[in-house]
A and B are shown apart, each in its own frame.
Chain A
Amino acid sequence: MEKRKYPLYFSFPALAIFLLFFLTPTLIGFYFSFTDWNINADTIRFTGLDNYRELFREPRLKTALTNTLIFAACVTVLQNVCGLGLALILNEALKLRNLLRMVFFMPYVISPLVIGYIFRAIYHPENGVVNHLLQTFGLGFLAHDWLNDPKIALYSVIGTDVWRVAGFSMVVYLAGLQFIPKDLTESSAIDGAGYWSRFRSIIFPLLAPAFTVNVLLSMIGSMKVFEMVYVLTEGGPGYTTEVFFTYIRSMFSTGQFGYATAVNLMLFVLVTVVGVPVLLAMKKREVEM
């Protein structure tokens, strides 16, 4: 049968919406990042590389870049370690298995904004649950002002996000574990392989597809973080928890639209530089399978 006969017009609605509402803003953003577009000016002037020159002189961009990378790296690693650990535990014949799986996925269905507010209360320096529990267990010296201490504020936000998304990774890893034939792990156990060597030589390699899906999703997702940082710290104290989208937000609210789109383009470059190689590696692995 002729492949060409499949009607092209089936692709029109999706294509139209995607081109108009995603690709067009991306492309006009590219243009506006070279202009002085702002709230006070009557006309938009083309200013060449001015925004970028200013951008690279601005220490806030460097802070946003560093923090975004730290945030993405920590969340990706921790989310996957926790998710995999939970999946391995909840893949065993535990009595409360289904209930526990349900509980760990629960935070994922709640809005990050609401979770941010909840953790603002939990991290509260005097009354928050975290410091209270630390004091109860005689670890009072570990108590902190979690969101206002410039040294640890970013890590408090990271911890909250890992709390939110670990369950999602768990589900993807559980899916991966189901594809591993039971007799393969059982026969190696009979052959005397310990848990660790079984994990390293059988489970881990066969989990590769779940691993790539998880890493890709958490890396791309965490570089685009906004709500969690905005609600917990608003990028502060100072700019110590500033990430790209909070920086864009503050440039937008001061009316520097051209400059804000230039910052957005930097985020675009960052996500592409990190995301595309991972995506290609994933595609390559798919071909091999």
Chain B
Amino acid sequence: MTTQERVRLIILELIAVALALLILIPFYMILVNSFKGIRESALFGLSLPSVWEFKNYKDTLQQAHVLRGFKNSFLISGSVVVCVNLFASMIAFVIQRRDDKLMRAIFYTFICGLIVPVSIVPTIKLMGDLHIRGTYFSLIMYYTAVLLPFAVFLLVGFMKSIPRELDEAALLEGCSFFRLYAQIILPLLMTVLVTITIVVMVSVWNDFFGPFYLMTDSTKWTIVLQIFNFVTMYSTNWGIVFAFMVLVVAPILLLYLLLQRFIIDGLTAGSLKG
């Protein structure tokens, strides 16, 4: 490596580190302020707390149903991940393999779902008419319907790379279509399914729009809806609000830090194959 090349790399590295600080400062700000008292936290400063208020966390855990929120978020996003992966891979298998007029029409209907914005007011009415409004089931179905198009789009694209000869060989051996799908096709789709799982998990876990409109029963609120409610109630004490935010951000950030290689690789592999 020439000296010139080395200098160039060092300059680029410095620029990148400076930009990374722009990403990290907001995270640092909520962390440091979550340990401050009511007056100091309202200043939103970056300095360390003059008095460390660990009590903020205790108060938050007592005042808010943090654990219940986590349980609801986990239940809902977990169910959506299962539904989307399972149903999307099944339909993508038939769409790509049959490839007739009907299937192409179905495929393009799903593609439209990728573009068209959700009609939230009629959705609320529909859920009411079906007598499922405010249930976990209604929210899981809402998210599944919204996220299926994206999954179908990725899976149909990826399915093209799985040779049809594989199907023929398996079927000649007397394998049923169900076993062909479950034991041969599904394992080959793993990389895309990982990508879908990540994207679905992140979007459902973090979503505010869905539960904001569809969840009336506060015992079924997701963690994100709880923050919204909590901030409205306690916006006078930012120390407590920030402590809540740290509690909410920490698990998903921790999960991300543990899985980040996997996440970025999964997105990298999946994002351009569609």
Query: Which residues in A have some Cβ–Cβ distance to B below 8 Å?
Result: 1, 3-8, 10-11, 13-15, 17-18, 20-26, 28-29, 32, 86, 89-90, 92-96, 98, 100-115, 117-119, 121-122, 124, 127-129, 132, 163, 167, 171-172, 174-176, 178-179, 209-210, 213, 220, 223-224, 226-227, 244-245, 248, 252, 257, 260-261, 264-265, 267-268, 271-272, 275-276, 279
Q: Among residues 224 to 262 in chain B, which have CB atoms less than 8 Å away from a CB atom of chain A?
A: 224, 227-228, 231, 238, 241, 245, 248-249, 252-253, 256-257, 260-261
Which residues of B are found within 8 Å of A226, using beta-carbon distances?
208-209
Is B162 an interface residue when CB atoms closer than 8 A count as contact? no
Q: Are B22 and A1 in contact (CB under 8 A)?
A: no
Which residues of A are found within 8 Å of B126, using beta-carbon distances?
21, 24-25, 28
Q: Are B209 and A29 in contact (CB under 8 A)?
A: no
How many angstroms from the CA of A32 to the CA of B272 in the assembled complex?
A: 39
Q: Are B9 and A94 in contact (CB under 8 A)?
A: yes
Complex: chain B residue closest to A257, CB-CB: B121
Q: Are A114 and B249 in contact (CB under 8 A)?
A: yes
A-B contact count (CB 8 A): 259
> Taking A17-B145, A103-B20, A122-B29 as contacts, is the C-beta distance between A3 and B268 under 8 angstroms?
no
Q: Are B44 and A114 in contact (CB under 8 A)?
A: no
Question: How many interface residues does B have (CB within 8 Å)?
Answer: 96
User: Main SS of the interface on chain A?
Assistant: helix
Is B12 an interface residue when CB atoms closer than 8 A count as contact? yes
Which residues of A are found within 8 Å of B123, using beta-carbon distances?
21, 25
Q: Are B119 and A264 in contact (CB under 8 A)?
A: yes
Q: Are B109 and A23 in contact (CB under 8 A)?
A: yes
Query: Which residues in B have some Cβ–Cβ distance to A below 8 Å?
Result: 9, 12-13, 15-17, 19-20, 22-27, 29-30, 33, 42-46, 83, 86-88, 90-91, 93-95, 97-100, 103, 106, 109-111, 113-123, 125-126, 141-142, 144-146, 148-149, 152, 164, 167-168, 171, 177, 181, 202, 205-209, 224, 227-228, 231, 238, 241, 245, 248-249, 252-253, 256-257, 260-261, 263-264, 267-269, 271-272, 274
Given contacts A89-B15, A261-B119, could you give 20 more A-B pairs where the C-beta distance is less than 8 Å? A10-B181, A21-B141, A22-B145, A25-B126, A96-B13, A111-B207, A121-B238, A171-B267, A172-B272, A175-B272, A210-B272, A220-B114, A223-B117, A248-B120, A252-B120, A257-B121, A257-B125, A264-B117, A268-B119, A279-B115
Q: Are A261 and B122 in contact (CB under 8 A)?
A: yes
Q: Could you show 25 A-B contacts with beta carbons less than 8 Å apart?
A: A1-B168, A7-B177, A8-B94, A10-B177, A11-B91, A11-B103, A14-B88, A17-B87, A17-B145, A24-B122, A25-B122, A25-B125, A26-B119, A29-B122, A32-B122, A89-B12, A94-B13, A103-B24, A104-B20, A122-B26, A127-B43, A171-B267, A171-B268, A178-B268, A279-B114
